[in-house]
A and B are shown apart, each in its own frame.
Chain A
Amino acid sequence: MINAGPLEKSTATTARPTRAFKLPDQLFLHILLIVILFFMLLPFIWMVGTALKPDADATPTSLSGTEKNIGTLVSLFWPREFHWENFVKAWNGKYSANVPDVSFFDAPFTRYFFNTIIVGVAETVGVLFTSIMAAYAFARMEFWGKGILFGFILATLAIPHEATYIPNLVIISQLGQIASWLGTNSYTALFLPWLGSAFYIFLLRQFFMALPQELYEAAQLDGISELGFLGRIAIPLSMPAVLTVGLFAFLGNWNAFLWPLIAAPNIPVVQTGLRTFVGNADVQTEWNLLMAAATIVILPIIILYFVVQRRFIEGVSRTGIK
C-alpha cells in the first residue's frame, strides 16, 4: 500500500522523479519495520537487562514500597550496574549464596547441558539413521506392501506427541522391568520413543526421489550396492535435507520439556532445569537469576541460529516444520 507509487506522475515524467518519490516510501517502511521489530525483540532486551541487574533492582521484594519512585524507562532495561556474576550464580543453581561453592563439573547447569547434549546427540543420530533408511527404501526400492506401509506412516503424522505420553510412559516402565537402563529415569527413556519420525521420513523421501534416475542406474551398472549408493551418493547429494532434519531433531530435543519432566524426573535437562528457578509465588523467584538462566538456555540456540540461519529459514519455509 505504501509502496504503490505515484503512477500518474511516473507515466508523465522520466524515471528520475519517480526514484525521488520512492526513497521516502522505503524510508517510512524501514522506520515502521524497525519499530515493529523493536517491540518484537523487547522481551529479549528485557531478559538480558534484568539478568545483569543487582538483586536490589531485579527482585520484586526489594523494590521497597516506601520509595515512590518507580524508576525511569531506561532503568527498566539498562542495569544501574552490571552484575555479570549473575550468570555464574545461575549456572551454579538458584541458592548458590547459601550453598558452598561447587566445582564446575558438579554445577547444576553443567549437568543440564551434559544430559541434554547426550540425549540430543543420541536422538539426532538415531532418528537420522531410521529416517534415512526408511526414506531411501520408500523413494528408490520396489517391494510388496509399499503403498500400504507408506500410508501407515502418513497416518501416524496426525498423531500428536502429547497423545502418546501416557501409553509411552507405561511402555517405558515395562521396558524398565526388563533392563533398568531402558526404563523410566534412564537416558534411553528420553529419546527412545522419538526415534521414528513420520515427518522426517516424508521429508527425506521427497529429496531422495528428486535425485536423477540415471545416477541410480549408473551406480547399479558399476555394481554398487543399495547401501553403497545411499552412503556414497544419495546422502552427500541430499546433505541440505539431512542437515536440516538433524538440526531440527537436535533443537526439538533441546526444547523438549514435558516428556523429560514425566519420563525421567531424575535426569534434569535444560528446560526442566530452568523450571527450578521459578518459585511458586513471585517472591521466591529471583528475577535476575531466573532471567540469567533463561539467557543461558536460549543463548546456545541463538548462536546456532546465527551460524546456520540460512539453512534454518530455508528449512522452515520449504518444509513448514512447526
Chain B
Amino acid sequence: MASVSKPITKPPETGPLQTDAAFKRRKKLKNSLKAYLFIAPAMLFLFFFNFFPIIYAIFLSLYQRISVVKGVIPPAENFAGFANYTRLLTDPDWWNAFFNTIGYVFGSVFFGLVVALGIALLLDKVKKGKEFYRVAFFLPYVTSLVAVATVWYIIFSPYASNALVKPNPDRPGGLVNWVFAAAGIPMQRWLIDDRGIFTIIFANGGKVDWLSGLIRLLVVAALIIVAVVAYRRLNHTLGVWVSAIVGAIALLVGWTVIVELAHLFPWTGWAGGPSIAMVAITVVAVWYSLGFNIILLLAGLTNISRELYDAARIDGARGWSMLISMTIPLLSPTLFFLLIVNTISAFQAFTLFFAILPSGPTRSVQVLSTFYYEVTFKRGSGTDTAGFGYSSTIVVFMLLLIVGINQLQQRILAKRVNYD
C-alpha cells in the first residue's frame, strides 16, 4: 500500500541522507501511530477488563480473608502464599463440585451432540419447508436462559412448598410430575433430589422370577429377529417402520428383565449414577443447546456434496454404514468445533444452575461455577474458605482446566478430524 503513495507527500529534498529506506521507515512510523490510535480503545478495554483481571486473580489467590478488597492491594498480613491452593486440593466440597462438573460436561455435551445430530440428519433429508424447521428448532436457543430456566423450574416442580414435603399424587404440580402421576409412575422431587438415578429406577425391581425372565429374554430375541428380517426384506419405508415398532416392543420387554436383574446389584455411591437433579438439569441444558448444534450441523451436512452420497450408495452403503463411514467423517470438522465450544460453555455453565435452583444447589448439583459463587458471596467472610482469595484460586483452576481440556481435545482429536 506504500507503493501507491502520491509523490506530493514525499518531502522535498532534505539532503542526500534522506534515502528511500529512511523514508519508508518514517512512513511506517506514521502509519503505525495512526494504527495504534485505531486499536487503542479496544486494546485498553481488553487489557483492563480481560487480561489484567486474570493476572489480578492469580495475585489475589495468594491472599486470605479478603472479602471486600479495600484498595487494590490487600494488606500484607493476609498474604498466604500457596495456602489457598493446598486448601483447594484438600477441600472435599471442591472435589465434589469438580466431579459433578465433569459429569455434567460429559452428559450435556455427549447427549447434546447425539440428539442434535439425529435431528440434523432428519432435517437434511427434508425437501420442502427446511427453512421453517430451521427457524423453529433454533427458537429455544435465542430466548434468554434465565427466563427458560424459570419455566423449566416450574415444569419440574414437585409441588412441594419446600424440599421436605413429599410429592402428593393429588397435587402433581409441574408438567413432568403430572405426566408421571397420570402414568402411575412414582413422582419425583426433580431438582432437589440427590439420589442417583439408578438407585431409583432399579430399586423397584423386587424379586427376580428366573423362569419368566428367561421366557421374556427369548421373546426379546425373537422380536429382534423379526425386526431385522422386516428391515431387510420389506420395502424400505415399511421395513423401517415395522422394525422400529417391533424393536420398541422388544426394548420394553427387555427393560422389565433388566430392571428385575438389576435389583440384585446395590446401586449405591458411584454406581447410583448421576443424581435425579443432575439428570433434570442436563435435560434442560441439552434442550437449550439443541438449536445451536442443529444449525451448525445442518450447515456442515449441506456442505457434503450429493455426488458423494450417490457414489457411496452405488458402493452399497446404507443407513448406519453410510452414517459411520461417510457422513460422520465428513462432518468431523463441525463436530470437533461443536465439541470444543460446547465443552467450554458447559464448564462455565452458571446461569442455568443458578436460575433453575432458586434455593441454591444441593450437593449433587454443586458445580464449579456455583461453588465459586457460594465461596465468593455466600459464605461468611471470617472463615478461611471464604472471600476473594479462595474464590480467585477456584477461578485460576477453572481457567487452567478449560485451557487444558481445550488443548487435550485439539491434540487428540485434531489427528482424526477430516478437514477436506
Report A's interface with B, CB cutoff 8 A.
1-7, 9, 21, 24-26, 28-30, 32-33, 36-37, 40-44, 46-47, 50, 60-61, 63, 65, 67-68, 70-71, 73, 76, 129-131, 133-134, 136-138, 141-144, 146, 149, 152-153, 155-156, 158-164, 166-168, 170-171, 173-174, 192-198, 201, 216-217, 220-221, 223, 226, 251, 254-255, 257-258, 262, 270-271, 274-275, 277-283, 287, 290-291, 294, 297-298, 301-302, 305-306, 309, 312-313, 316-318, 320, 322
Contacts and interface: CB of A to CB of B under 8 A. Distances in A.
A313 B345 CA distance: 19
Given A47-B151, A70-B182, A171 B146 contact: no
Contacts of B50: 156, 159, 164, 196, 198
B295 A317 contact: yes
Given A76-B175, A142-B1, A298-B144, A43 B152 contact: yes
Contact of A170 (B47, B72, B151, B292): B72
A137 B348 contact: no
A281 B359 contact: yes
Given A158-B406, A275-B146, A136 B38 contact: yes
A7 B312 CA distance: 13
A255 B145 contact: yes
B38 A133 contact: yes
28 contacts: A2-B237, A30-B129, A33-B122, A33-B133, A46-B151, A60-B161, A61-B161, A67-B170, A129-B41, A130-B42, A131-B42, A141-B34, A143-B36, A152-B43, A160-B402, A163-B399, A166-B60, A194-B49, A197-B46, A220-B1, A226-B38, A251-B142, A271-B147, A279-B358, A302-B142, A302-B143, A317-B298, A320-B337
Contacts of A29: 122, 125-126
B412 interface: no
Nearest to B323: A1
Contacts of A21: 235-237
A258 B355 CA distance: 10
Contacts of A26: 126-128
Interface band, chain B: 35 or more
Contact of B150 (A42, A76, A251, A294): A294
B39 A167 contact: no
Interface in B10-62: 28-29, 31-32, 34-36, 38-39, 41-54, 56-57, 60
Contact of A171 (B48, B129, B169, B345): B48
Contact of A294 (B123, B133, B147): B147
Which of A5, A9, A60, A158 has most chain B Cβ within 10 Å?
Answer: A60
Contact of A290 (B154, B323, B373, B398): B154
A135 B369 CA distance: 32
B170 A163 contact: no
B interface SS class: helix
Closest 8 CB pairs of A and B: A196-B45, A167-B53, A137-B38, A134-B42, A143-B32, A143-B35, A193-B49, A196-B46
B144 A65 contact: no
Given A163-B395, A166-B391, A174 B1 contact: no
Contacts of B173: 60, 282
Given A196-B42, A302-B139, A143 B28 contact: yes
A4 B319 contact: yes
A164 B54 contact: yes
A216 B43 contact: no
A313 B133 CA distance: 12
A201 B38 CA distance: 12
A167 B136 contact: no
A177 to B, nearest CB: 9
B160 A282 contact: yes
B49 A168 contact: yes
A283 B359 CA distance: 13
Contacts of A142: 1-2, 28, 31-32, 35
Given A70-B181, A298-B143, A313-B134, A133 B151 contact: no
A60 B157 contact: yes
A167 B69 CA distance: 10
Given A163-B395, A278-B150, A297-B147, A316 B4 contact: no
A233 to B, nearest CB: 15
A68 B170 contact: yes
B298 to A, nearest CB: 8
B139 A305 contact: yes
Contacts of A318: 299
B399 A159 contact: yes
Contacts of B48: 171
A75 B2 CA distance: 73
A271 B172 CA distance: 28
B137 A220 contact: no
Given A192-B49, A281-B161, A298-B147, A201 B42 contact: yes
A61 B376 CA distance: 35
A28 B43 contact: no
Contact of A134 (B38, B146, B344): B38
Contacts of A158: 402-403, 406
Nearest to A272: B146
Contacts of A28: 237, 241
